Structure 1
């Protein structure tokens, strides 16, 4: 079974499944201040109130207080390993996850972070995190790893996942998390699997998408339908209650790494500079490629209607 340690490994290569085991406990090394921090690979980004918070390579956390026009590095991040996912419940309280099973928390809008969890002997990465409120959160990662908290991350409990139909064990890599307005949580995974939880991560069931490749990301559209992004330009649209989703045709073979939704506006971005834009709620898309073909890893809409884009070379100016 293949695994990709983060979205950016889809940009660079496909690797074999490796879990690094250390003979000695891991000593966390803080992320170092860098003059070129805005050029670090960013893997996920969210809004924390009116602030953009992005996370990525070398424990770099970037902050913007002007709708994504300018970024600066967070002042204190206690790890220098790759951060792959981030979630905020308000302008101040947020969590980030990454390699070595790291879970970090902040109570000051991402300025400073503290370690809540770190696997000191085994690098079993976490790929995504979602918090419903200041107490209840879910993190997912390598080989069906699911962690739950009901106390704001003070304690995390591993949740056992049943095997999908036809499999002997649950060992899918869970790549992304997103939720709808009712609190239904979805996890994108390998082999076209989409998992659904209606009790905030306690129990899960598998949904048949009709697709066999890796699903990297997903989002809930304004009408309540789902949009899923996967390998080789795969974009699936439909309802979670219907078996199989319809495929939206794309010309690009670049994997889709991130989906942003703002009302009727939808943007999906991916490898090789792929940008798919919709103005009708995700029913139809216009396809573009960035001029330099730089692979895109995350996207947000700002209040001014522009796109805040991130790539394997850091923050990008809005070209769209």
Structure 2
């Protein structure tokens, strides 16, 4: 598969993260499409968020042409890390546990929550319907809303922790204040929340992969035998789950087993981008992998427990994975597929690519 690059922004270096107060309005920036962009959602309007509270909106449904995105005013001036759209609503999260909401599909926004004293970012947001949603982030930060994102209640989830950590917490549970303090301290970063029809997934720090069948009220860890961080779990068209993370690691998550998929890349993989019949995985250094879903269950010639990843020249890539040739060098942090195009948010701004069979 070939992908033609039609980037609209000059390549920039990774910009420093904003530290301004969320209560300050974001400003209209002339070079916003070239700035650090971190999250994108597909909905009635495609919405993109990034540093300094920047929000970009495309008012044409299904349009992935970057030149048609325009910046809208944001009620926050901190880095926004993720956005989720559903019908006429959209929610975005970011630094200082900031949460903002739109009731017109991203055209206007209201600040719902900001806690600069907490000094922890939210990294992911997901809504099950127009009323109930969750937001997750650093050090196990986890919130739930049952009124459409108008207010949020913080939760703790020891089910995401390792057995050793839970044993320790059990030993101090009689001291509730100390228990909650330690739970917050030892909880891993929650990098991404995603869902299939019946299962909620979280991908996180130190090998954390966990599932929930009750909308995140309780969690069960997946013991995958890998201690590196995961950054996304993608739900593929055939309901296969694909986890990606540090140093090119990729796993197919099945009910009874987890199959390692050799990618032959050593850069971090940040995002699984899916549509009805196409799957891409995007990562640092401009890496984009095309995934053949039909071949995912084939045995890999090189398992992670035998392959020397330091000797990448001798690597044999899994038959389901092919490297897409691009001239990108920035970290790709997310994307959506619209018609025959990839719309990508990167450390160097907004980019689009034509997918050619």
> TM-score higher than 0.5 here?
yes
Aligned to 1:256: 269
- What is the TM-score normalised by the length of structure 2? 0.78
Q: Contact 2:81–2:122 (CA<8 Å) still a contact in 1?
A: yes
| 2:352 corresponding residue in structure 1 | 317
Q: Residue 113 of structure 2 aligns with which residue?
A: 117
Match of 2:324 among 288, 292, 295: 288
Partners of 1:232 and 1:255 within 8 A in 2: yes
1:232-277 deviation digits (Å, cap 9, x = unpaired): 11111131x224x222111221111111111231000000111111
CA contact (8 A) 2:14 2:347 kept: no
* Structure 1 outlier segments of 4+, above 4 Å: none
Contact map agreement 2:57 2:72 (CA 8 A) in 1: no
**Relative to 1, partners in 2 of residues 1:142 and 1:27: Cα closer, same or farther, differing over 3 Å?**
closer
1:307 aligns to 2:342 (yes or no) = yes
CA contact (8 A) 1:264 1:282 kept: no
Shift of 1:28: 1.4
Moved more, 125-134 or 245-254: 245-254
Query: Aligned equivalents of 1:38 and 1:12: distance in 2?
Result: 13
Normalized against structure 1, the TM-score is what?
Answer: 0.86
Q: State the number of aligned residues.
A: 294
Task: For structure 2, list consecutive stretches of 5 or more residues without a partner in the other structure.
Answer: 1-12, 169-182, 297-319
SS at match of 1:318: strand
* Cα distance in 1 between the residues matched to 2:261 and 2:192: 20
- Which residue, 222, 240, 255 being the options, matches 2:237? 222
Bigger radius of gyration among the two? 2
1:268 to 274, 281, 290: 281
The structure with the greater share of residues assigned to helix is 2
After superposition, the CA RMSD in angstroms is 2.1
Closer, same or farther in 2 for the Cα pair 1:149/1:264, shift >3 Å?
same
Q: Is the 8 A contact 2:64 2:341 kept in 1?
A: no
Question: Using the alignment, how far apart are the partners of 1:262 and 1:173 within structure 2?
Answer: 27
Q: Deviation of residue 288 (structure 1)?
A: 2.7
1:246 aligned residue:
259
The answer to whether 1:97 aligns with 2:61 is no
How far did residue 289 of structure 1 move? Answer: 4.6
The alpha-carbon distance between structure 1 residues 27 and 149, as it changes in their structure 2 partners (threshold 3 A), is closer
Asked whether the 8 Å contact 1:197–1:205 carries over to 2, the reply is yes
- The answer to whether 1:180 aligns with 2:196 is yes
Deviation at 1:280, TM superposition (A): 3.3
Question: How far apart are residue 61 of structure 1 and its match?
Answer: 0.9
Aligned partners of 2:14 and 2:36 also within 8 Å: no
Check the 8 A contact 2:210/2:219 in 1, yes or no.
yes
Q: Is the 8 A contact 2:40 2:49 kept in 1?
A: yes
**Structure 1 residues 282 and 307, CA gap change in structure 2 (3 angstroms):** farther
